[in-house]
Amino acid sequence: MEEKNLSAAMEDYIKTIFTLEKRNKVARVSEIGRLLNVKKASVVAAVSLLQKNEFIKHERYGFITLTERGTSTAQIIEQKNKALYDFLTGVLKIDDEKARLETCGMEHFISPETAEKISQLTRQLTPRQGKKVLARARK
């Protein structure tokens, strides 16, 4: 299974494991299930598939960690998420909660290249807005 062929659900599992690793150094089936609001059986099935495709390492009844491939994939997902979130909140002025929800849906359907172009556009558009706000504050 290639990174580009991952389902949205599998990307969510990788992203969740990445988040848990940053927080706790490792992830556990129960924590993943709690964060994704899914049953243990669903997590076990996903973990098995991710391990088979070398995105994670999993000790039976133990810790789950991302492999180098899994970490790389998680970083790409995180970059797409950030690009979309920054665009929605910074350029379109979508409120934070709505932007978070919509970002989670969209991040699965854009390429890293598209995310980078969105990020570039956001950087081009937001400094001007920041300067306008700063100019108004000085008046």
Per the structure block, which two tokens stand in for 63? 């810790």
42: Cβ contacts below 8 Å, ≥ 6 apart: 33
Split at pLDDT 50, 70, 90, the class of 138 is very low
pTM of the model: 0.83
Q: What is the mean pLDDT of residues 18-37?
A: 95
Identify whether residues 100 and 66 lie together within a single domain: no
Identify whether residues 84 and 61 lie together within a single domain: no
Domain housing 65: 3-71
Burial pattern 127-136, b for ≥16 Cβ within 10 A else e, equals eeeeeeeeee
The mean predicted confidence, pLDDT, of the chain is 90
Can you give the CATH number for the domain in which 105 is found? 1.10.60
- Residue 30 belongs to some domain of the structure: yes
Can you give the CATH number for the domain in which 22 is found? 1.10.10.10
3 or 106: whose pLDDT is higher? 106
Identify whether residues 36 and 88 lie together within a single domain: no
pLDDT for residue 4: 66
pLDDT surpassing 60 at residue 136:
no
127 or 134: whose pLDDT is higher? 127
- Residue 139 belongs to some domain of the structure: no
Identify whether residues 42 and 21 lie together within a single domain: yes
- Residue 134 belongs to some domain of the structure: no
Number of domains in the chain: 2
